[in-house]
Amino acid sequence: MNHLEFGSAGENIAAEYLKRKGWKIIARNVRVGRGELDVVAADGDELVFVEVRTRRIGYLSPAETTVGPVKIKRIIKTARMYVDRINFSGAWRIDVVAVTESKDGEISLELFSDITVGMEGGFMG
């Protein structure tokens, strides 16, 4: 399986995980302007933009650490454009789902919620 197929499989696993948590998947791989949103979901009344990171054990960095400030700013910009496009006026946030495959093929998932909390300039900055 090449890295694109592996990433796509990770997104499928993450979407199923979110469904099991009771979230509604609204859209996947949404292109907005120059950006892309991996998963758009509803957690109750809150709109959630989910960045999915898939890695195998042995990479230099764990999946969740690969979403740096530049990527976060890009996701915020894309999410704002999406919210404007659909005229959504409620609460929204950005989460990361880290999908990690161990050397023996076991998959683990970890959800990092509201990753912009504590960022300099604040969520809407």
Cα separation, 45 vs 80, in Å, equals 17
Q: Residue 75, exposed/middle/buried by CB under 10 A (0-12, 13-18, 19+)?
A: buried
Sequence letter at residue 121:
G
* DSSP code for 31: E
Is pTM beyond 0.95 here?
Answer: no
What is the CATH architecture of 3-112?
A: 3-Layer(aba) Sandwich (3.40)
Domain locations along the chain: 3-112
- Look at residue 124 in the predicted model and tell me its pLDDT: 44
Q: What is the pLDDT of residues 92-114, one digit of tens each?
A: 999 999 998 888 889 999 999 99
